[in-house]
Structure 1
Amino acid sequence: MSRSRTRKSSARRTPRILPQGVLKMSGAGYGFVQTSEGEFFIPASKTADAFDGDVVEVARIHDGEREGGFEDRLRGRVVRVVGRAHETVVGRYEIAEPFGVVVPEDPRIKHDIFTLRSDAPHVKDGDIVRVRMTSFPSRREPAQGVVEEVLGHEGQPGADVELIIARHKLATSFSATSLAEVEGAAVDADAAFNSGRYVDLRSELAFTVDPDDAKDFDDAVSAACVWLDGPAMLRSAHRALAAKKEGSSEPGIACAADDASSAAGARFFILGVHIADVSHYVPWNSQVDFEARERATSVYLVDRVLPMLPEALSNDVCSLRPHEERRAMSVEMLIDEKGFVRDARITPSVIKSKARLTYGAVQVSIDALQAGDFQAAVAALRPMAGAFAEDIAQSIGVLHEIAQALHANRVRRGGMDFESEEAKVRLNDEGVPVSVSIRRKTDATALVEEAMIAANEAVARYLRDAGIPSIFRVHEPPSSGDLAELVPILQEFGYDRHVSLANFKAGDPFAIQQVLSFARGRSEEFLVSSLVVRAMKRAVYVDSCEGHFGLASTAYTHFTSPIRRYPDLMVHRMLKVALFGRTGETSALESALARIADHASTAERTAEEAARESQELKLFELLEQRIGDEVDGMISGVMAQGFFVRLADTCEGFVSLRDTGEYFVLDAARRVLFGSDSGVVYRLGTKVRVRISSVYPYARRADFDLVRRIGPRLVARK
């Protein structure tokens, strides 16, 4: 008997499964959701009741609306919130009887939260509060909550940074138990030597190099060069050094100023990297260890540091202060003139740093050495190095050679250099910004960076080859799709005439290298470098050795900062397992590696966001003092409504084209705006003069008015 056509089937329909992902909101109100079906652009009007960070379900939309200017992305709308990211929200309290309305400090959260005045009558208008959510917004009801804590008052010194700390839920203090555990921490060099595990390197010419405002010094370096007739082994190199020191005629030490022709054999470098032995003072599963593990990293904010470890360790017994004995983990490497590490030794040690140098002083010394003025190089270091200034100046010459050799070797194997600019705001005693400086890579910073990379690689190779489980730093290759999005932009800059963009799109590291190299010294250098960085995968911590794409390294870890990074502390612990054998806690260490690596990756992102936001907050406060000024900048982003302009101090502001009387067409792939009547073109990298019209420091946002272009007037291609 046939089924009637009019009768509905009793079979249950399979519910449609919609893609899910984390909503990442922008300050402008729109957002993005990365799902298994690709990344969706969510217009501001389609975010429903979702907050930034919520796990949401999205549905694709096919309307003609082009809100936001992301025509090249899948477009979607939030169907429902699957999981909430915020139990509490930080914001400014406004009285609107009988309610107290909390306006979120985070510009990515667009919903005000309503509280009852009667629940918190002590809270004043303008107070900065933390509110606990009791119900999230819906079509019928606003978001509601209860004031949990008053953090400060708007305009109060330091309250703005407190907001950032509270919003990211950063720890600001240590428990009494943790502080008690480290209260009596001492170096005790005699006990170190009596253990039979530490070597005495106190006579080494080791020294630290850090920024002027550094508070802790967890790495020191030493360097020498030798000529060897025999095998390229550290043992042979040390014998040669000893012979030279005793005045023997055998081949031995020679610094940069020596005459190489007088020595026999091949020339090698001995590079020493000495890292604070933090694991000695932080026992596994102690209270201080639990708290460090939860923090996972120190956080460097514009006006303070939130350390991973109590100051009794981070600023005292683990800090490699000059002329004080300190326990360390030392990596000595024998490096040839082509930058290959030929031999390495890793051992616990006791060192005594000879000087605390700054990057500025070291750069002056390097410049003098390059100019052939050794006495000027020594003079630049004498205020910090005293009687050791001459010897350290020679060591810096050797370290500079080592850095150049290591860098050249990494470039040959496909490693990349990303140029970056870091804004550092200086505050007065009241927390008010007074100036900004831009930190860029120099020979001095490269000298230390190359030494640390070499040590990290040596440790990673040692652990990998020994078969010891550990935490590694892994950087996956970029996807061809992400790189392909940059090709039209690079074509706009004319790179296709100099670089194979087909190879670039395919992820060939040498083609990426060529793009970065061609950009160097050009006006768009930092723009191109930042675009390529954004197209890269993010480096993460994992419990397996899988290589580092950006450094072209087959084995890489983080070993050099155990004071401020918990993964480094774990690496030190696993190194001791490799050197001295398993203990009763080794199995627990191994089973925790994956969990610790994942948590550390998340905490690292949070710390970076908080640090960036705190700097930007003060940058925009400084910019607010210049409202009405005309300044030069470069177009760093384009949207259908206008474009972003980046200033020399790294601040960005938006120029709206809505009131120009002309319709502009956006070419999303090329990131170019075309004037429909005038044919004028606004593209990435275009230099413009703008007037600062309004600044919103808490939102870290500014609006600019276009004054004029700088340079020739570009017209749209026919």
Structure 2
Amino acid sequence: MARNRRGARRRPKANPRGVVSVSAGGFGFVQTAEGEYFIPASSLGGAFDGDLVEIAPLRSGARKKGRSAADEGDMSGRPAARVLSVVDRAHDTVVGRYEVAEPFGVVVPADPRIPYDVFTMRAEAPEVPDGALVRVRIAQFPTRRSAATGFVEEVLAETSDAPRAGIDLIIGRHKLETVFSEGALADAAAAVLDEEGALAAGYRDLRSRFVFTIDPADAKDFDDALSLDFLEEEGLWRLGVHIADVSHYVPWNSSVDLDARRRATSVYLADRVVPMLPPALSDELCSLAPGVDRRSMTADLFLNDEGELVRYKLYPALIRSKARLSYGEADAMLLNGRGGLAAGAGGAANGAGGDAAAGGDAAAGGAIAWRLAECSRLAKLREAARARAGGIDFATTEAKVALDAEGRPVDIVLRKKTDATRLIEEAMILANETVAGFLEAKRFPCIYRVHEAPASDALGSLIPVFQEFDWFARPMEARLVAGDPKVIQEILAASAGRSEGELVSSLLLRAMKRAVYRPENLGHYGLASEVYCHFTSPIRRYPDLVVHRMLRAALARRPEKFDQEVAALPWIAEHSSDMERVADEAARQSQELKMVEYLAAFVGQSFSAVVSGVASYGLYVRLDCTAEGLLPVRALGDEYFFFDAARYQLAGDETGATYRLGQRIAVMLKSADVATSSLEFALAGPR
């Protein structure tokens, strides 16, 4: 007998799921497999920005207390929905302003995308002052019937409106550790150089070599130095890369090591550095300051006149830097040739003690000048060889906000690659490759820096865009999908200087995978390196410190508990990769915050900008100073704009006006919201 289908039990329909993105206005959006939904502020159901939520679409025209969903709805016509439940929380803590309201201490989130106050009991933290900036741990998340509750975990600042409070907020949001443990501070304070002990233990005495450092003008920790000499009997250049010997002062599982391991990296914010190591080590005993003896791990790299590596030596040494240069001063000396110190360079070359005062010594100045010139020549040869091997170099511009003594922004300074930065970069790349190759050849444990080739589908999705340009030939398509680095070089070169150059570079850069740390070698695609690690910055990166310990063990003997550290390498690599992402995000947000503060004085002015992102709700535009903001779709005109995701463009259905990624347009700064670190733009001039 046929079964009655009308009476059969139906399987419940699965509700859409996605991550909710809440705006400063209180409403949100959820991108699901079924499409994007608009979430009215009244329908968030206790969800925070970034939460994974389950949603239910609202019926068209459904009313709630006299209002329809459309009354709160999305102007772009996306369907409205409500949050049924929060599947996974993105936040377990919130940073905000503490307000005393007996018997409660109410924490008002500093992030306007979190529209829920958190209630704490005043009696549990009576010492917290009214108006303080705090981090509160959430004990109970808000529901439709109850408020969020929690307890104060940390006071970040005594007041929430100080000039540096914005960076305090970023530190709090990312849970960056700013206080070292008593044990770590004690370890750092007890550390001593002990030159005689170093020599007795087998360190080579290189204090007579002409060693120098090149760093940003405001640097405090100098963890790499160079030397260069020509060995006439062999016809080879001996390029010495001398790296601070941090592993001597930070043994495995010591208190200072445990603090450093958790942090995994120093964080370089707009107005401060959150160091991985206590300042007694990072800024003093480990730092390769001029005129003082320091322990180093040295890589002597012997190069022929064509810049090819012939052989190398790796060993611990005692060094004494003879001069400190900033990048600007090194570039000035390179520009002026071999004739001695450039005007204005002397101050940076001055250091503590006799022969470190290169700025006042013409002979020392000349010694620096010719070494810089030869290092630069060899660096350019190395760079060219890497390009021939398939190394990819994206021309990027870094922006740094200049601050006054109170932490207020006074300028935005752009940094591009120069001969001096290339000189250092190529020396460090070669040292990193050499150490990684040495450890791999000895089958010794290591944390490698891995950069995998981009996914074929990510590269293939760019073909429809590139086909619009006459320089993109059909034979390029298969090579691009295969991830051939040579064709990526060709595409970058062909588009450089053209109107589409920004678009092409942006799309290729977005298709690249992020470099990570791994305990196994998978090569470095972007550098065209078969084997690569980070060795040159142990003061500020924990993986470099681990590599130093592995190298020391390979050169001498395995220390006690060595196997314990080797067993932890997978976890250390994963944790370091995660913390690097956190540090990069915090650094980026701190610069963005100060850029918005700076640009607040320019509201109403017009700028030339490049479209850096395209979405259904508008365009992201980037100014020449690298500040980025939103030009909402409503500001493009009254017509409907169709979003073409495949071509990264918005197209008007009436006028046919199109806006696409990489396009240069004139914009007017409409608002600069410091609270949300956001800029909003409108089109400049009549439309």
Q: Establish whether TM, by shorter chain, passes 0.5.
A: yes
CA contact (8 A) 1:69 1:639 kept: no
TM-score normalised per structure 1: 0.82
Please name the residue that 1:169 is paired with. Answer: 175
> Deviations along 1:216-251, whole A, 9 cap, x unmatched?
1000012234xxxxxxxxxxxxxxx2xx5xxxxxx5
Please name the residue that 2:542 is paired with. Answer: 566
Whether 1:111 and 2:88 are equivalent positions in the alignment is: no
Q: 1:304 to 1:319 in 2, by over 3 A?
A: same
* Root-mean-square deviation (Å): 3.6
Please name the residue that 1:474 is paired with. Answer: 450
Please name the residue that 2:269 is paired with. Answer: 301
CA contact (8 A) 1:89 1:132 kept: yes
**SS of residue paired to 2:675:** helix
Please name the residue that 2:665 is paired with. Answer: 688
Q: 1:269 to 1:489 in 2, by over 3 A?
A: farther
Whether 1:615 and 2:579 are equivalent positions in the alignment is: no
Structure 1 residue 100, shift from structure 2 partner? 6.5
Separation (CA, whole Å) in 2 of partners of 1:24 and 1:495: 39
**SS of residue paired to 1:411:** helix
Mapping for residues 89-488 of structure 1, pairs under 5 Å: 89-93=94-98, 102-106=107-111, 109-115=113-119, 127-150=132-155, 151-195=157-201, 197-225=202-230, 241=231, 244=232, 251=233, 268-369=236-337, 374-375=338-339, 381-383=345-347, 384=349, 385-386=358-359, 387=361, 388-488=364-464
Structure 1 residue 174, shift from structure 2 partner? 1.3
Please name the residue that 2:354 is paired with. Answer: none
Paired letter, 1:155: D
Separation (CA, whole Å) in 2 of partners of 1:665 and 1:471: 47
Structure 1 residue 182, shift from structure 2 partner? 1.8
Mapping for residues 587-602 of structure 1, pairs under 5 Å: 587-602=563-578
CA contact (8 A) 2:503 2:663 kept: no
**SS of residue paired to 1:342:** strand
After superposing the two structures, state which structure 1 stretch, 310-319 or 494-503, moved more.
494-503
Separation (CA, whole Å) in 2 of partners of 1:280 and 1:41: 54
Q: 1:218 to 1:479 in 2, by over 3 A?
A: same
**SS of residue paired to 1:691:** strand
Separation (CA, whole Å) in 1 of partners of 2:192 and 2:324: 21
Please name the residue that 1:702 is paired with. Answer: 679
Paired letter, 1:188: D
**SS of residue paired to 1:437:** strand
CA contact (8 A) 1:488 1:669 kept: yes
Paired letter, 1:358: S
Structure 1 residue 167, shift from structure 2 partner? 1.0
Structure 1 residue 48, shift from structure 2 partner? 5.9
Separation (CA, whole Å) in 1 of partners of 2:571 and 2:45: 34
Mapping for residues 67-82 of structure 1, pairs under 5 Å: 80-82=85-87
> Deviations along 1:504-531, whole A, 9 cap, x unmatched?
2332111122222334445665554343
Mapping for residues 570-649 of structure 1, pairs under 5 Å: 570-649=546-625
CA contact (8 A) 1:330 1:347 kept: yes
Separation (CA, whole Å) in 1 of partners of 2:139 and 2:303: 61
Structure 1 residue 279, shift from structure 2 partner? 0.4
TM-score normalised per structure 2: 0.86
Separation (CA, whole Å) in 2 of partners of 1:24 and 1:540: 27
Separation (CA, whole Å) in 2 of partners of 1:213 and 1:39: 51
Structure 1 residue 612, shift from structure 2 partner? 0.8
Separation (CA, whole Å) in 2 of partners of 1:85 and 1:675: 36
Structure 1 residue 350, shift from structure 2 partner? 0.8
Structure 1 residue 364, shift from structure 2 partner? 1.4
CA contact (8 A) 2:39 2:81 kept: no
CA contact (8 A) 2:17 2:55 kept: no
**SS of residue paired to 1:473:** strand
CA contact (8 A) 2:329 2:342 kept: no
Please name the residue that 1:235 is paired with. Answer: none
Separation (CA, whole Å) in 1 of partners of 2:37 and 2:482: 29
Separation (CA, whole Å) in 2 of partners of 1:464 and 1:566: 19
Separation (CA, whole Å) in 2 of partners of 1:534 and 1:162: 30
Please name the residue that 1:264 is paired with. Answer: none
Q: 1:572 to 1:540 in 2, by over 3 A?
A: same
Whether 1:510 and 2:474 are equivalent positions in the alignment is: no
CA contact (8 A) 1:501 1:511 kept: no
Structure 2 unaligned residues grouped into runs of 5+: 61-69, 350-357
Mapping for residues 47-86 of structure 1, pairs under 5 Å: 49-52=46-49, 54=51, 56=52, 80-86=85-91
Structure 1 residue 552, shift from structure 2 partner? 1.1
Please name the residue that 2:66 is paired with. Answer: none
Paired letter, 1:312: A
Structure 1 residue 691, shift from structure 2 partner? 1.9
Separation (CA, whole Å) in 2 of partners of 1:26 and 1:401: 51
Structure 1 residue 173, shift from structure 2 partner? 1.5
CA contact (8 A) 2:340 2:368 kept: no
**SS of residue paired to 1:303:** coil
Separation (CA, whole Å) in 2 of partners of 1:567 and 1:296: 8
After superposing the two structures, state which structure 1 stretch, 514-523 or 208-217, moved more.
514-523
- Aligned partner (choices 667, 671, 679) of residue 656 of structure 2: 679
Identity, % of aligned positions: 46
Q: 1:297 to 1:68 in 2, by over 3 A?
A: farther
Structure 1 residue 124, shift from structure 2 partner? 7.3
Structure 1 residue 192, shift from structure 2 partner? 0.9
Structure 1 unaligned residues grouped into runs of 5+: 226-240, 245-250, 253-266, 714-718
> Deviations along 1:144-187, whole A, 9 cap, x unmatched?
43445543433213111111111111111212222122213222
CA contact (8 A) 1:499 1:511 kept: no
Separation (CA, whole Å) in 2 of partners of 1:20 and 1:342: 58
Separation (CA, whole Å) in 2 of partners of 1:322 and 1:509: 41
Structure 1 residue 698, shift from structure 2 partner? 2.3
Structure 1 residue 676, shift from structure 2 partner? 2.4
